Amino acid sequence: MSCAHLSGLARLQPPRLSESVHREECTQCFDDQDSPLGIGVCLTCFNGGCLSSDRHT
C-alpha cells in the first residue's frame, strides 16, 4: 500500500468518533487481514490497503 501521508508521521492523531477506520479489508480489492500478506492501515487517513503492489496497477 502506498499512501501520500507517509511524510506526515510526526502529526499522527487518533481517529475521531466520526471517522471510519478501514482496518479489516483493502478498500481497493477487498483482500482482508487473513490474506497471506495481510493489510496495512494508513495512520493518517485510516484507509486500509493490501500489501501486494501488483494488485492495483
- CB count within 10 Å of CB 46 equals 15
pLDDT value of residue 33: 86
Indicate the pTM of the whole model. Answer: 0.62
Distance CA(50)–CA(22), nearest Å, equals 11
Domain boundaries, the chain: 20-57
Cell of 50: 493490501
pLDDT digit string (tens) for 6-49? 666 677 788 889 888 888 888 888 888 898 888 888 888 888 88
Decide: 26 and 51 in contact? Cβ < 8 Å: no
